[in-house]
């Protein structure tokens, strides 16, 4: 096996959290290396450059790694889960194909035990993270509007995405009902920002932004981190984290693009492989000293997986809207976010209002839903659908439950022979009641908006690619995998910074908080450099 | 196009596919729309099968079997009923067939122009998005905070 020169810090994974971590630690002048299994993506390769832009979301830009099947992907057995796994493996990780919706967690999300009597409080709170949220907003470049009574004060550096016809339509309905709404914060640049061009409404933000207006970490954090001396090595798939005779992490074994095995020694190892990739790697790093997987004396590695069940309610209005010709994200509502004792569930959800989709996807999704017939009626009905769709996503908080988990699949393996992750996940009774409540409210809104053909799928849920909770933070080593600043309780030079350290999931898209936490952990490490392993 | 795989469909299968596609989305002279069996669109469908080849082949065979191998000879009403029934029963093969046919159909220049759309990729020209009516936000602006401030709630402070 080829052995490489030792580095001070080895980061595995270059996505949302790995990039923020690398950039923040770069000022220490330590030797920092990031290993990433995927490639750099070129904006000229993104689908919106070509006439087949809509079809490619079902092939090489599918959000499911199993369908996408690039050789940089690893398979995931999610047969035993109603919620499927979405991700992207490349420099930028999930931010390459995320939708750029950018809410923060609420202060109450960090205190669910003391405020609502469920699950556990986090070992950090909103106010400890606040300045890192702000720093991250500047780094990623956020558009939005200050003054929202639904969330704590924040100051997005760019103006919000226009409401357009679709947003105006929703806003009228919300005002009729007297319910809260506000233009969403997003990481779509609405003005020129830090070398990024402004959004030109390609309307297809999820599978990569050809204009470079959407913030993915390959164009935000990474260029700065690399300029500051961090090395990023692509096409390096880590198989396991190794340990020495003292039980400390000694480095990682990885395969390069040719399948050749390497050993990369390091003083400190930081995992940033997301809520599925990180437990997979820890479980696959079992050894005589750590027979149940690395950092797993609590038995919680892989457990408490949270995925955000996300029903979407759709309808059609008479007015012609601007679906497909602007960013998908538009507005949010926090009307039902906080716990209300009069409801039959605890915790809550965000309503996310979408601008919809292009001509082929309107036809494909409507045919699949049985709305669009085949035959001579096809053209007439299609004209009633195209550019008339409104839809609302119900972003539900799911609470941590140990039976929802990531394990190693006994059979399925990736192209390097590394066991694939297996997902077992069910939706709890509390979340089901929350979903029904949200679906009913969304139906009320669409009805107030004058929509007809209202439909919801309860069985095929949207799967948002929010992978959380499988190596949770906490003060008690028996009830958590890492401490309040991301260090493994068991292995004192091993840190975890991705979505797996979440204690609960909130009812929001997670990346803003994932990155704020990574910056917070980097800051804690910098303050403790002399005593990092004590 | 991303999938460079050989189409793999035989000439007979392509003929059957043409009958099916032309039934799924027939031409409309009134609206100026070609059918999905138009030669250029059919060629695009066949070229785009890629990873869906096996499923599409399965769907073509299943529909052929239901029509006793004579879909093209059936009356249009019967053909349409057969195809709609087949899709209503669901399944991955039918879904793949629908996806590939519609994916190619709704990127054809003539189809997009007949729908009043521009026949081009979104990038680099993009689109204009109007601001919309921001005055609607006045109704929300001065509402009291909806979020719980944990610092003000008993038990909230750490
Ligand atoms: C379709 C979609 C839409 C989304 N929309 C939104 C949204 O609107 N707003 C929002 O906040 N979030 C959204 N998300 C979620 C967002 O992408 C994730 O929350 C975020 O990227 C997670 O960050 P992370 O650092 O935990 O991991 P990731 O960003 O997933 O990065 C992990 C990286 O680790 C690499 N890796 C994994 N294992 C290994 C290994 N063994 N060796 C080497 N490298 C490895 C992977 O290749 C990957 O690049 C969306 C996700 C998807 C899929
Ligand atoms: S709508 Fe804007 S952010 Fe989205 S892909 Fe287009 S240019 Fe990029």
Q: Where are the domains of chain B?
A: 4-120
E strands in A219-293 = 231-233, 237-243, 249-255, 261-271
Would you say residue A500 lies in a domain?
yes
Residue A311 falls inside a structural domain:
no
CA of A124 to the centre of ligand 2 (A): 34
* Structure tokens, A102: 């950018």
Domain count, chain A: 1
A199 CB less than 6 Å from ligand 2? yes
pLDDT of amino acid A476: 98
For A178-212, b where at least 16 C-beta lie within 10 A, e where not — what string? ebbbbbbbbbbbbeebeebebbbbbbbbbbbbbbb
Q: Report which secondary-structure segment, H or E, holds A522.
A: helix A511-527
Mutational test site, ligand 1, from A187, A273, A283, A521, max ligand atoms within 8 Å of CB: A273
Ligand 1 pocket mutation pick from A10, A12, A14, A15 by most atoms within 8 angstroms of CB: A15
Q: What is the C-alpha radius of gyration for chain B, rounded to an integer number of angstroms?
A: 24
Atom of ligand 2 nearest to the CA of A201: 1
> Hey, which bits of B29-104 come out as E strands?
none
Cα–chain-centroid distance for residue B71? 23
Q: Which of A463, A472, A464 is nearest to A498 (CA)?
A: A472
Residue B158 has pLDDT above 60, yes or no: no
The neighbour count for residue A385, using CB atoms within 10 Å, is 18
Ligand nearest to the CA of A101: 1
Q: Per residue of chain A (534 residues), what is the pLDDT tens digit?
A: 777 999 999 999 999 999 999 999 999 999 999 999 999 999 999 999 999 999 998 999 999 999 999 999 999 999 999 999 999 999 999 999 999 999 999 999 999 999 999 999 999 999 999 999 999 999 999 999 999 999 999 999 999 999 999 999 999 999 999 999 999 999 999 999 999 999 998 887 888 999 999 999 999 999 999 999 999 999 999 999 999 999 999 999 999 999 999 999 999 999 999 999 999 999 999 999 999 999 999 999 999 999 999 999 999 999 999 877 889 888 999 999 999 999 999 999 999 999 888 999 999 999 999 999 999 999 999 999 999 999 999 999 999 999 999 999 999 999 999 999 999 999 999 999 999 999 999 999 999 999 999 999 876 678 899 999 999 999 999 999 999 999 999 999 999 999 999 999 999 999 999 999 999 999 999 999 999 999
Rounded to the nearest angstrom, the minimum Cα separation between B120 and chain A is 6
**Separation between Cα atoms, residue A55 and residue A172, nearest integer Å:** 34
A101: closest CA among A436, A351, A272, A358? A351
ipTM: 0.93
| CATH code for position A498 | 3.50.50.60
Q: Which atom of ligand 2 is nearest to the CA of A214?
A: 3
d(CA A267, CA A263): 13
Distance CA A78, CA A280 (A): 14
> Residue A231 forms beta bridges with which residues?
A33
Mutation test residue for ligand 2: of A43, A97, A141, A188, the one with most atoms within 8 Å of CB: A188
Q: How far apart are CA A283 and CA A267, in angstroms?
A: 21
Residue A369 CA neighbour count, 13 Å, CB half: 22
> What pLDDT score does A203 carry?
81
CB-closest option in B84, B127, B148 to A373 = B84
Q: Do A56 and B2 touch (CB under 8 A)?
A: yes
The verdict on residue A83 lying in a domain is: yes
User: Exposed (0-12), middle (13-18) or buried (19+): which is B134, by Cβ within 10 Å?
Assistant: middle
Contact B25 A374 (CB under 8 A): yes
Which ligand is the nearest neighbour of the Cα of B127? 2
Nearest CA in chain B to A368: B95
> Each residue of A499-517: pLDDT tens digit?
999 999 999 999 999 999 9
Provide the edge-to-edge strand list for the sheet that holds A419-425: A77-81, A419-425, A405-413
User: What does the block give as tokens for B87?
Assistant: 């899709």
The answer for B 53-72 residues in CB contact with A (under 8 A) is none
Percent of chain A with pLDDT over 70: 100
**pLDDT of B155:** 53
- CB contacts under 8 A, A 145-164 vs B, are 145, 147, 149-152, 161-164
- How far apart CA B95 and CA A323 sit, in angstroms, is 23
Exposed, middle or buried by CB within 10 Å (0-12, 13-18, 19+), for A45? Answer: middle
Residue nearest to atom 8 of ligand 2 (CA): A209
* Nearest-10 Cα torsion for A488, A491, A493, A498: -30
pLDDT tens, residue by residue, A87-136: 999 999 999 999 999 999 999 999 999 999 999 999 999 999 999 999 99
Residue A458 is predicted with a pLDDT of 79
Burial A315-354 (b: 16+ CB within 10 A, else e): bbbeeebbbbbbbbbbbbbbbbbbbeeeeebbbbbbbbbb
User: Whole-model pTM above 0.80?
Assistant: yes
Q: Which residues on chain B are in Cβ contact (under 8 Å) with A182?
A: 137, 140
Q: How far is B82 from chain A (nearest CA, A)?
A: 10
Angle at A129 between CA A11 and CA A333, to 5 degrees: 110
Q: Which domain holds residue A143?
A: 2-160+194-306+400-426+469-531
State the burial class of residue A83 (Cβ atoms within 10 Å of its Cβ: 0-12, 13-18, 19+). buried
What are the pLDDT digits (tens) for B7-57?
A: 589 999 999 999 999 999 999 999 999 999 999 999 999 999 998 999 999
Nearest CA in chain B to A152: B147
In the prediction, which pLDDT does A266 show?
A: 98
Residue at A38 is within a domain: yes
A462 part of a folded domain: no
């Amino acid at each position: 096996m080829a052995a490489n020169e030792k580095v001070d810090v080895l980061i595995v994974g270059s996505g949302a959290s790995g990039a923020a971590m690398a950039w923040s630690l770069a000022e220490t002048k330590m030797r920092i290396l990031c290993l990433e299994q995927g490639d750099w993506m070129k904006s000229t390769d993104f689908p919106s450059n070509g006439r087949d832009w809509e079809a490619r979301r079902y092939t090489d830009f599918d959000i499911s790694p199993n369908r996408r099947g690039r050789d940089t992907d690893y398979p995931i057995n999610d047969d035993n889960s109603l919620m499927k796994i979405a991700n992207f493996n490349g420099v930028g990780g999930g931010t390459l194909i995320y939708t750029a919706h950018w809410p923060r967690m609420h202060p109450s999300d960090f205190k669910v035990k003391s405020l609502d009597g469920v699950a556990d409080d986090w070992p950090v709170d909103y106010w400890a993270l606040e300045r890192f949220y702000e720093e991250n907003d500047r780094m990623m470049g956020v558009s939005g509007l200050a003054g929202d009574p639904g969330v704590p004060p924040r100051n997005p550096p760019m103006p919000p995405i226009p409401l357009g016809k679709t947003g105006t339509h929703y806003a009228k309905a919300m005002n009729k009902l007297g319910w809260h709404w506000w233009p969403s914060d997003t990481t779509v640049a609405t003005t020129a920002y830090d070398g990024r061009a402004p959004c030109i409404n390609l309307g297809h933000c999820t599978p990569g932004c050809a204009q470079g207006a959407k913030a993915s970490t390959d164009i935000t954090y990474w260029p700065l981190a690399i300029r500051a001396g961090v090395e990023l090595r692509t096409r390096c798939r880590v198989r396991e984290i190794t340990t020495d005779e003292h039980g400390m992490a000694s480095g990682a074994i990885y395969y390069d693009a040719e399948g050749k095995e390497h050993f990369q020694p390091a003083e400190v190892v930081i995992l940033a492989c997301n809520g599925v990739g990180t437990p997979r790697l820890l479980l696959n790093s079992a050894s005589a000293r750590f027979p149940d997987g690395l950092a797993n004396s609590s038995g919680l590695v892989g457990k408490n997986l949270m995925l955000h069940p996300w029903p979407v309610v759709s309808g059609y209005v008479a007015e012609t809207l601007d679906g497909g010709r602007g960013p998908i994200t538009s507005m949010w509502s926090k009307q039902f976010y906080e716990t209300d004792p009069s409801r039959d569930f605890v915790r809550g959800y965000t309503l996310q209002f979408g601008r919809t989709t292009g001509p082929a996807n309107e036809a494909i999704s409507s045919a699949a839903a049985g709305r669009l017939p085949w035959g001579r009626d096809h053209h007439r009905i299609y004209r009633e659908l195209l550019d008339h769709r409104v839809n609302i996503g119900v972003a539900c908080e799911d609470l941590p439950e140990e039976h929802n988990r990531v394990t190693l699949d006994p059979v399925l393996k990736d192209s390097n022979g590394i066991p694939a992750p297996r997902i077992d996940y069910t939706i709890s009774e509390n979340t089901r009641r929350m979903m029904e409540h949200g679906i009913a409210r969304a139906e009320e809104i669409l009805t107030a908006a004058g929509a007809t053909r209202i439909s919801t799928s309860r069985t095929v849920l949207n799967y948002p690619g929010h992978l959380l909770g499988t190596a949770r933070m906490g003060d008690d080593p028996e009830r958590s995998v890492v401490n309040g600043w991301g260090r493994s309780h068991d292995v004192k030079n091993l840190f975890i910074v991705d979505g797996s350290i979440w204690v609960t999931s909130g009812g929001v898209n997670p990346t803003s908080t994932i990155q704020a936490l990574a910056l917070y952990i980097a800051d804690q490490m910098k303050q403790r450099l002399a005593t990092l392993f004590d | 196009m991303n999938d460079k795989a050989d189409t793999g469909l035989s000439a007979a299968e392509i003929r059957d596919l043409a009958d099916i596609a032309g039934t799924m989305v027939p031409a409309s002279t009134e609206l100026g729309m070609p059918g999905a069996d138009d030669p250029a669109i059919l060629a695009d469908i066949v070229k785009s099968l890629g990873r869906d080849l096996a499923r599409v082949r399965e769907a073509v065979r299943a529909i052929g079997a239901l029509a006793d191998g004579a879909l093209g000879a059936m009356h249009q009403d019967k053909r349409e009923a057969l195809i709609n029934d087949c899709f209503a029963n669901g399944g991955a093969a039918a879904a793949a067939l629908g996806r590939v046919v519609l994916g190619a159909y709704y990127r054809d220049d003539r189809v997009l122009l007949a729908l009043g759309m521009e026949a081009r990729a979104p990038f680099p020209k993009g689109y204009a998005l109007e601001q919309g009516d921001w005055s609607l936000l006045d109704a929300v602006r001065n509402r009291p905070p909806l979020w719980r401030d944990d610092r003000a709630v008993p038990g909230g402070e750490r």
